[in-house]
Amino acid sequence: MDRAELFQRIQQKRSFLCVGLDPDPDRIPASFDGDVLAFNRSIIDATREYAVAYKPNTAFYEALGLDGMRILHATIDYIGRDHLIIADAKRGDIGNTSGYYARFAFETLGADAITVAPYMGEDSVRPFLSYPGKWAIVLAVTSNEGGDDFQHTVQQDTGTALYDKVMRRVMEWGSPDQLMFVCGATRAETFSTLRSIAPDHFFLVPGIGAQGGDLQAVCRFGMNAQCGLLVNSSRGILYAQDPARAARELQQEMQSALENYLPEVSQ
Ligand SMILES: O=C(O)c1cc(=O)[nH]c(=O)n1[C@@H]1O[C@H](COP(=O)(O)O)[C@@H](O)[C@H]1O
Is-contact 208 185, C-beta < 8 A?
Answer: yes
Q: Ligand 1, from 17, 19, 22: best to mutate by most atoms within 8 Å of Cβ?
A: 22
CA of 204 to the centre of ligand 1 (A): 10
Residue 21 neighbours by CB under 8 Å, 6+ apart? 40, 43, 44, 54, 55, 56, 57, 60, 75, 234, 238
Alpha-helical runs (H) found in 31-87? 36-47, 59-62, 66-79
pLDDT band at 267 (very low <50, low <70, confident <90, very high): low
Q: Given 13, 55, 90, 134, which residue is catalytic? A: 90
Q: How far is CA 204 from the centre of its chain?
A: 4
Does residue 236's CB lie within 6 angstroms of at least one atom of ligand 1?
yes
pLDDT tens, position by position, 24-65: 999 999 999 999 999 999 999 999 999 999 999 999 999 999
Tell me the C-alpha to C-alpha distance, in Å, between residue 209 and each of 77, 88, 184, 215, 253.
Answer: 27, 18, 12, 9, 13
Rounded CA separation 98/205 (Å): 24
Q: CA-CA distance, 184 to 230, in Å (whole number)?
A: 11
CA distances from 20 to 39, 60, 68, 193, 232 (A): 13, 11, 16, 26, 6
ipTM, two decimals, is: 0.99
Where would I find the beta strands (DSSP E) of the chain? 17-21, 51-56, 84-91, 113-116, 135-141, 179-183, 202-205, 229-233
Distance between CA atoms of residues 44 and 57, nearest Å = 15
| Residue 252 to residue 177: CA distance in whole angstroms | 27
* Ligand 1 site, residue 163, Cβ cutoff 6 A: no
Q: What is the mean pLDDT of residues 232-241?
A: 98
Centre of ligand 1 from the C-alpha of residue 69, in Å: 20
Active site residue 55: no
Distance of CA 129 from the midpoint of ligand 1 (Å) = 22
**pLDDT of res. 13:** 96
The pLDDT of residue 22 is 98
Q: pLDDT tens for residues 119-162?
A: 999 999 999 999 999 999 999 999 999 999 999 999 999 999 99
Tell me, using a 6 A CB cutoff, whether residue 233 lines ligand 1: yes
pLDDT score, position 264 = 79
pLDDT tens digit string along 164-209? 999 999 999 999 999 999 999 999 999 999 999 999 999 999 999 9
Q: 252 vs 263, which has greater pLDDT?
A: 252
Q: Could you give all domains of the chain from N- to C-terminal order, each with its CATH number?
A: 3-262 (3.20.20.70)
